Amino acid sequence: MKRTLSNECKNKVGEKVNIKGWMNQLRELGKINFLILRDRRGYIQVVIEDKNQIKKLKDCQIGTVLSIIGKVQKADQTDLGVEITEPKIEVITKATHTPPIEYNKDEIHANPDTILDYRPIAVRNKKLQAVFKVQSTILKSFRQSLRDQEFVEFRNPVLLEAASESGADVFEVKYFDRKAYLCQSPQIYKQIMIGAYERAFTITPVFRAEKHHTSRHLTELTHMDGEMAFVDDYHQIFEVCEKVVKDVFNAINTENKKELKLWKATTPKLPKGKIPEIKIKDALEIIEKRMGKSAKRKLDLEPEDERELCKWAQDKYGSELLWVTHFFKDKNFYTWNDPENSEESLSYDLLCRGIEWLSGTVRIEKYEKLIENMKKLGLDEENYSGYLQAFKYGMPPEAGFSFGLERMTQKIFDFGNIRQATLFPRDVERLSP
């Protein structure tokens, strides 16, 4: 008999159907028993009155996989409006162990580390499923938005010959008789690619050997990176990114209504017009004023600064997103300084709900200037020969950006910890499951 999915039963009142799924709940009241079956579309109630049928579930724990043939009946008190009666039950896979966490309840009441330890079953929970369905929508709509804007997707390598940039915080790989390093950023490759396509993007794991034990750090992350040629003004990058953000929010609000509702979550509020922007030097003044602390000429914002600036943008512009630009001279070799103020670099972060979602810079496209900067910083040109090729043979003015998938997911649900938005997080301690 062909399988009917839980939500398809609505249209089959009075018919006999074969449903299949996991036993998510069993209430045994004696004469009448209620079983909730879970499948990929949702949950359906099965009413069991026949003793011979309930006997089949003896010693079956939550998670037991069942095939049930029964009749669809109207049942107004249920979510679906229907239930299954007169069931004939077949046990497909008997689960004989009681789950160590109650993933089948609406909420898993366990500490966060326990949930991560039991992620393989925790992810069966309705609310946790919702989180990673939204993440799946982010991936899809991010790519679609960039494709709509003529960006070409490409695959960057993860294994590198030389550690990128400073060489700090990089993981080393034993590569036959020599060493390789894990990619910290696909930037080199996306810059190379725009020499061909003008606009390129990649979604890739990146790795940071950071020993931080914080709610924001992981050693393996997913970056969603774009790069664009013929950028005369970094506001062209802002336009691209604002469209991405809007497209992602629209997709979530269209496709994940149920998932958002489960968490009472909303996508961040966008302003009517463009996302507001502020230079770091002005942002620091606001932080001084609002927080009463000295915040002079810092290279980077602290977490509490980012939170305060987001509050400010919300107060002043009704926007949960804010561009912070013109960070003080960065130590990297590839970012242009503002031609009008060489103290400030042409760099930008997009903050949202108290955290950085995106960072990017306007890149130096002039070969001679790159060489000059690398010399100043004592970098070995040899390690960048592939990268430098792209510039030696002609590169237009260009800029790029990098979104963090886990941070976006985290803040859509307003989670306190990035691990809640990561299926299998990796950090100093955690390398499994």
Q: Which of residues 355-414 bind a second copy (CB under 8 A)?
A: 365-366, 385-387, 389-390, 392-397, 405
* Least Å from the CB of residue 250 to a second copy: 17
Q: Is 147 in the site for a second copy (CB under 8 A)?
A: yes
- Where does this chain touch a second copy (CB under 8 A) — which range of 49-57, 153-161, 246-254, 289-297? 153-161
Counting Cβ atoms within 10 Å, is residue 88 exposed (0-12), middle (13-18) or buried (19+)?
A: middle
Q: Residue 325 or residue 422: which is nearer to a second copy going by CB?
A: 422
159-188 residues in contact with a second copy (CB under 8 A) are 159-162, 171-176, 180, 182, 188
Under 8 Å between Cβ of 328 and 370 = no
Among 34, 197, 263, 328, binds a second copy (CB under 8 A): 197
* Least Å from the CB of residue 37 to a second copy: 12
List, as one string, the DSSP characters of 245-291: HHHHHHHHHHH-HHHHHHHT--PPPPPSSSPPEEEHHHHHHHHHHHH
Write the CB contacts of 141 (distance below 8 Å, at least 6 apart in sequence). 247, 248, 250, 251, 252
For residue 358, what is the enclosing H or E element?
strand 355-363
Q: Is 124 in the site for a second copy (CB under 8 A)?
A: yes
- DSSP E strand stretches across 64-131: 65-74, 82-93
Under 8 Å between Cβ of 160 and 167 = no
Q: Residue 199 or residue 353: which is nearer to a second copy going by CB?
A: 199
25-54 residues in contact with a second copy (CB under 8 A) are 39-40
Among 43, 53, 184, 207, binds a second copy (CB under 8 A): 207
Annotated catalytic residues are 208, 210, 216-217, 356, 359, 407
* Least Å from the CB of residue 88 to a second copy: 17
- Where does this chain touch a second copy (CB under 8 A) — which range of 25-33, 139-147, 240-248, 280-288? 139-147
Q: Residue 189 or residue 333: which is nearer to a second copy going by CB?
A: 189
- Where does this chain touch a second copy (CB under 8 A) — which range of 60-68, 69-77, 242-250, 373-381? 60-68
- Where does this chain touch a second copy (CB under 8 A) — which range of 126-134, 270-278, 308-316, 333-341? 126-134
For the chain, give percent helix, strand, coil, nearest 5: 35, 30, 40
Counting Cβ atoms within 10 Å, is residue 92 exposed (0-12), middle (13-18) or buried (19+)?
A: exposed
CA-CA distance, 324 to 347, in Å (whole number)?
A: 8
Draw the binding track, 314-353, toward a second copy (x: CB under 8 A; -: no contact). ----------------------------------------
**How many CA atoms within 13 Å lie on the side-chain side of 412?**
29
Closest C-alpha among 3, 204, 7 to residue 92: 3
* Least Å from the CB of residue 199 to a second copy: 7
CA-CA distance, 202 to 400, in Å (whole number)?
A: 12
Among 69, 152, 262, 286, binds a second copy (CB under 8 A): 152
Among 4, 141, 184, 222, binds a second copy (CB under 8 A): 222
Q: Residue 378 or residue 394: which is nearer to a second copy going by CB?
A: 394
List, as one string, the DSSP characters of 192-243: HHHHHHSEEEEEEEEE------SSS--SEEEEEEEEEES-SSTHHHHHHHHH
Q: Is 110 in the site for a second copy (CB under 8 A)?
A: no
CA-CA distance, 275 to 286, in Å (whole number)?
A: 18
Question: How many residues contact a second copy, by CB under 8 A?
Answer: 93
Q: Is 3 in the site for a second copy (CB under 8 A)?
A: yes
Q: Residue 86 or residue 161: which is nearer to a second copy going by CB?
A: 161
Q: Is 55 in the site for a second copy (CB under 8 A)?
A: no
What residues are paired with 361 via a beta bridge? 347, 400
Closest C-alpha among 181, 222, 171 to residue 201: 222
